[in-house]
Amino acid sequence: MNKNYYAVLMAGGVGSRFWPVSTTANPKQFHDMLGTGKTLIQKTFDRLNKFIPTENILILTNERYNDLVLEQLPKVKPEQVVSEPAMRNTAPCILYASLKIQKMNPNAVMIVAPSDHWIEDEDAFERDVTACFDKCEKQNVLCTLGIQPTYPNTGFGYIEFEKGSDEKLKKVSQFREKPDYETAKEFLAQGNFLWNAGIFMWSVETIVEAFKSYQPSQYELFGEGISCYNTKEEIAFIKENYAKADNISIDYAILEQSKSIYTLPATFDWNDLGTWGALYEKLDKDASENAVVNAQVVLENAKGNMIRSPKGKIVVVDGLEDYIIVDKEDVLLIYPKSKQQDIKKVLGEVKDKFGDQFA
């Protein structure tokens, strides 16, 4: 394996649209959402570990999830878990991790990847990532993997790239916010738009220089801790200073300002598993288009449902079509798939009425 290859897994999110399985105490990345026997973070780690050395994979997470990370990823040592003592979006934690890696290996190239996505062809994923690594090693550029859109999705941001190049990696002209439906249709018709999957690659030198240029106050804050990183003094420095960081995403902080960004249209099948409906799309279905995880089912006049229960539980459904049916200990969710985006709002109502223990 290439010792200059590093990875940062983003594992601090809550995944509230997957409630009631995903909760603040135990978010979706730590669950076997697909019924494969492995949690999403385990699958992501294994995918990257095929071509990135174990010791070069860092896990970025909220400090409350440290024990969960170490429990689920036994190959990972405690010093590979990079803890956020406060929620400050993606830019501060990526800068923090990048400075740690740069101190370990100034020649490093790194991938920043979500820990909870579904990727089908892992060999194609490796080829795409290493193609970006090659470019990042040779040029001072930032790279991202873009997903070929299959329909006008209004839930993703889009990457617009310059037309007319035969190169595999395309020069990014701009990042576009989540569009309305008509705008999304226009994006697809133009042919030079990709979904933004939030998977980024760069050399540590290039990303650190980008922060110096575009986010000097952030760099100054975290740069003061360079002597502490990867030592016993690091925890105290981060606890004292992390909350001072601006709450800003890597997209706004760096990507929308840099003029040296390239995107590679991914050659693998991808799903962000952002909702129960997205999970439903990736699961095997029965003859009536019901997708079942863990449950033993008896189904009558049931069609197009997403059903999940504790392993082995018997679930009987009659007369429901296109519903999300999720049973978890002290919470049962029976909710129309067409309203899945409202689950986050429902969770807020549950918290207000019954308390945070169910969230």
Residues 331 and 222 in one domain: no
Looking up residue 27, the CATH number of its domain turns out to be 3.90.550.10
pLDDT in tens, the chain (359 residues): 899 999 999 998 887 889 999 998 899 999 999 888 999 999 999 999 999 999 999 999 998 999 999 999 999 999 999 999 888 899 999 999 999 999 999 999 999 999 999 998 999 999 999 999 999 999 999 999 999 999 998 888 999 999 888 889 999 999 999 999 999 999 999 999 999 999 999 999 999 999 999 999 999 999 999 999 999 999 999 999 999 999 999 999 999 999 999 999 999 999 988 899 989 999 999 999 999 999 999 999 999 999 999 998 999 999 999 999 999 988 999 999 999 989 989 999 999 999 888 78
| Full residue range of the structural domain in which residue 327 is found | 276-358
Whether residue 282 sits in one domain with residue 249: no
Mark which of 271, 306, 324 sits at the end of a domain. 271
Are both 257 and 343 inside the same structural domain?
no
Domain boundary among 271, 303, 319: 271
324 exposed, middle or buried (CB, 10 Å; 0-12, 13-18, 19+)? buried
Question: 298 pairs with which residues across the strands?
Answer: 316
> What are the structure tokens assigned to 316, written together?
């009987």
On whether both 199 and 337 belong to a single domain, the answer is no
Same domain for 91 and 165, yes or no, is yes
134 shares a domain with 84: yes
